Structure 1
Amino acid sequence: MIDDETRYRAVDSRDARFDGVFFTAVKSTGIYCRPSCPAVTPKRVNCTFYPTAAAAQGAGFRACRRCRPDSVPGSPEWNHRADLVGRAMRLIGDGVVDREGVAGLADRLGYSSRQLQRQLTAELGAGPIALARAQRAQAARLLLQTTELPVTEVAFAAGFASVRQFNDTVREVYDRTPSGLRAEAGGAGERGAGGRGRAAAAPAVPGALSLRLAYRGPIDTEHLLDFLALRAVPGVEEVVPGPRGVRTYRRTLALPHGYAIAEVDSLGTAARPDRGWLDCRLRLADLRDLTTAVHRLRALLDLDADPQAVAEQLGAGPLVGPAVAGRPGLRSPGHVDPHELAVRAVLGQQVTVAAARTLAGRLAARSGQPLPEPSGGLTVLFPSAGALAEAESGDLAMPVARQQALRGLCAALADGTVRLDPGVERERAAEQLLALRGIGPWTVGYLRMRALADPDVFLPGDAGVRHGLQRLGLPGDPKAAARISAAWAPWRSYAVHQLWASA
């Protein structure tokens, strides 16, 4: 928790670490900014601070056209918090309000709509409709400034229910008409470096977007891509080399309204790791999936993390401190599809990473949905839990016990007995998983760490953890490992990745 005086000092020093953590509204200008806005620092008496862009917009402030406060990383609180507000923010980010309304959001969280509205407003200064509206406004700006779609199509692709609602929101948030906002794409819109979305030219391919995924630096993209490349499922994912040391992670995405192909570049050798964004390209079968696709890629790459907070805790001790110093910005990757990850976790039980990858590739080839046309090495969407629950034994090349575990898990995911969506309670999900045959503590811990974005998971029985501890001269047995890990709370998931990297 930080107070307003600390917030003002962050604004005065233009500290980018606080971008997305809070927003500064300036009463004398009627605009709100990110803390690192390069404009002249306003007087303290004119500053009011808000936890979300939606709250600033609800108070009547417009987004600064210079620093683009809608284009910052998300607050690390919403990424990791396990309470109602944190779970609600993750579901809103995934587009649940646009698809299911406030009633659907409340139902997923197990609260009434009135209770949800009251708690979000009390803590964030904005309810679920206002939070979703701010997200739609940002998606609209991205589509206006990076595509040549007609304005009417932009309105519905961004999630607005009507063109009038779209026009009113854009005017209120950006103090511009939609056409005026589009005209800025070659001017002020280009200055929003580090934002969530920006492209230099309109794409030639329908549904194609070029954007930037903002993060708080530093970031170790080499570790990220090494981790993903080692586990890349043939036909579904690939990591390809490019010029100047840049590598590109590519994968297919199964989204609510259709499929997508996503590409994210590493920083390579020419860019500083704290530059503030990663280049990303999306090709969407349905542009209504834009917000969901971006949200899931951010979760995959852990872009809303606070690496300074992690480094302060892990780097302070003598055990992994040197490793943290040698790998600044190491992230704890999540996943774009919790159901896919759950299947892959079961495939990985008691086999090597390479063997699990081969098994997953066979499943994808036999049971996945083929793309309308291949894209490089990408040919298929990973099969759904429902499809795998009904797969023939011949398609599951694994021992009978693991086949039964996989079918049981997929059936539970398909019928909702087990939920792994962004709004689920982690403890409840863990209990549901452990109740399934063939699902043990390692699988549950791995899913909590990656599917449910839990920052404080340790895997004491994991072979990679054991080898990493032994490389550091520490005992690797599970009891000793669990005891050692207590000093790394609440960031033990990141300590696991440090140990894996050391091993």
Structure 2
Amino acid sequence: MTLLRLFPQGPTDSETALRMLVAHAIPGAEEADIPGRTYTRLLPHAGASVRVTVAFTEDHVAVDLPDEIPDPDGLAVPIRRWLDLDSDTTRIAGALAADPMIRPLVEHRPGIRLIGYPDEFEAVTATVVGQLVSLAAARTFMGRLVAAYGTPAAGLKALPAPQDLAVIPDAELKAAIGLTGARTRTLRAVAQKWADGFTLAHLTADEARRALLALPGIGPWTADYLTVRALQHPDTFAPGDLVACRALGSVTADQARTTAERWAPWRSYGLMHLWADAAYAAPGRGGTRAWKPDPDLTLLPEPTSSPCRAAIAPRR
């Protein structure tokens, strides 16, 4: 095997990064070993799918690659981008800690990174498939998609390309995955959009959000979530996210949005801190005891305030 050592800018909360990857791992496409601190998947490289194993150490990320692949160093840039290794977490933590409300979370996990996806179409597909269901159900649906249409390589399967997914009839796709008819149509619309050459890359967060909302079946929460997870924009937020609203004291979406404005220009990292404390902590280490929401945010919502949607809670 060929070993790449990737050193991040600033500290890294490797435990949260690994647990986030594990929580979303697709059966048949990804393998994870929490005790061994490794995560394995296929990545596109030089026209092929390469099996890559990422190991999180105290000060760097070690990447195992097959010896026979050409230009192994060429994978360093996409992996660094996927794992957000070039962001200065010291600077980000310092800025967020200026807000006393979120400071306890920042001090507990100063190396939070904006873990994304190696491929934006994969991010959008996984999010659409997982709308309005639990994370466990979303992984099951994605596992069925991979099993039915994935491309085998090195003992795993790569997700189908958008042009391949776009030509599958709705009835066949619905039967293979088990989605509702509406969700199947959204998935096909997304596949067709990306098959036509669309990409979120180089769009602003507002432009990306508008483009996503223009697709059938994609609403505000999905668009907001994808600006964080697919676009990896550092300063967006998902005010309708139930986990975030609960972490802030069971507030409304409007109140959550107002609070997050204090974290600019790193609102996405603030959201990651809320998610990490609620969903990605190791057993016995979640729910930071020093963390308390702003008491001003626990007031009953104004009649014009929009509530968070309970149905979207599981999708972190």
Same fold (TM over 0.5): yes
Once residues 11 and 267 of structure 2 are traced to their aligned partners in structure 1, the CA distance between those partners, rounded to angstroms, is 19
Once residues 426 and 457 of structure 1 are traced to their aligned partners in structure 2, the CA distance between those partners, rounded to angstroms, is 7
Match of 1:361 in 2: 143
Structure 2: gaps of 5 or more residues: 279-316
Q: Does 1:250 align with 2:29?
A: no
Q: Does 1:297 align with 2:82?
A: no
Measured at CA, do residues 358 and 258 of structure 1 come closer, stay the same or move farther in structure 2, by a change above 3 Å?
A: same
1:66-110, CA deviations, whole angstroms, 9 ceiling, x for partnerless residues? xxxxxxxxxxxxxxxxxxxxxxxxxxxxxxxxxxxxxxxxxxxxx
Measured at CA, do residues 428 and 480 of structure 1 come closer, stay the same or move farther in structure 2, by a change above 3 Å?
A: closer
Q: Does 1:326 align with 2:108?
A: yes
CA contact (8 A) 1:258 1:284 kept: no
Match of 1:234 in 2: 27
Match of 1:224 in 2: 17
Give the deviation of 1:288 after TM superposition.
Answer: 4.5
Once residues 247 and 501 of structure 1 are traced to their aligned partners in structure 2, the CA distance between those partners, rounded to angstroms, is 17
Give the deviation of 1:227 after TM superposition.
Answer: 0.6
Counterparts of residues 314-393 of structure 1 (less than 5 Å)? 314-371=96-153, 373-374=154-155, 379-391=156-168, 392-393=172-173
Aligned-partner SS, 1:287: coil
Measured at CA, do residues 344 and 437 of structure 1 come closer, stay the same or move farther in structure 2, by a change above 3 Å?
A: same
Give the deviation of 1:289 after TM superposition.
Answer: 6.6
Counterparts of residues 25-424 of structure 1 (less than 5 Å)? 208-242=1-35, 246-267=36-57, 273=58, 275=59, 277-283=60-66, 286-288=69-71, 290-291=73-74, 293-371=75-153, 373-374=154-155, 379-391=156-168, 392-393=172-173, 394-416=175-197, 418-421=198-201, 423-424=202-203
CA contact (8 A) 1:264 1:281 kept: yes
TM-score with structure 2 setting the length: 0.82
Once residues 238 and 445 of structure 1 are traced to their aligned partners in structure 2, the CA distance between those partners, rounded to angstroms, is 28
TM-score with structure 1 setting the length: 0.52
Aligned-partner SS, 1:229: helix
Once residues 432 and 285 of structure 1 are traced to their aligned partners in structure 2, the CA distance between those partners, rounded to angstroms, is 40
1:296-340, CA deviations, whole angstroms, 9 ceiling, x for partnerless residues? 211221101111121112111111101110112111101101111
Once residues 359 and 255 of structure 1 are traced to their aligned partners in structure 2, the CA distance between those partners, rounded to angstroms, is 26
**Which protein has the bigger helix share?**
1
Give the deviation of 1:491 after TM superposition.
Answer: 0.5
Give the deviation of 1:396 after TM superposition.
Answer: 3.2
Once residues 344 and 469 of structure 1 are traced to their aligned partners in structure 2, the CA distance between those partners, rounded to angstroms, is 26
Aligned-partner SS, 2:228: helix
1:452-484, CA deviations, whole angstroms, 9 ceiling, x for partnerless residues? 2200111111122122223xxxx4210110011
CA contact (8 A) 1:408 1:436 kept: yes
Q: Does 1:480 align with 2:263?
A: no
Once residues 294 and 464 of structure 1 are traced to their aligned partners in structure 2, the CA distance between those partners, rounded to angstroms, is 33
Structure 1: gaps of 5 or more residues: 1-207, 268-272
Q: State the AA in 2 paired with 1:259.
A: S
Measured at CA, do residues 404 and 231 of structure 1 come closer, stay the same or move farther in structure 2, by a change above 3 Å?
A: same
- Rg comparison, structure with higher value: 1
Once residues 491 and 447 of structure 1 are traced to their aligned partners in structure 2, the CA distance between those partners, rounded to angstroms, is 16
1:206-235, CA deviations, whole angstroms, 9 ceiling, x for partnerless residues? xx4211011123110000001110110011
Q: How many residues align?
A: 274
Aligned-partner SS, 2:116: coil
CA RMSD of aligned residues (A): 1.8
Q: 1:495 aligns with which of 256, 260, 270?
A: 270
- Higher RCO structure (Cα 8 Å, ≥6 apart): 2
Measured at CA, do residues 256 and 443 of structure 1 come closer, stay the same or move farther in structure 2, by a change above 3 Å?
A: farther
Task: State, as a whole percentage, how many aligned pairs show the same letter.
Answer: 37
CA contact (8 A) 1:433 1:439 kept: yes
1:154-195, CA deviations, whole angstroms, 9 ceiling, x for partnerless residues? xxxxxxxxxxxxxxxxxxxxxxxxxxxxxxxxxxxxxxxxxx
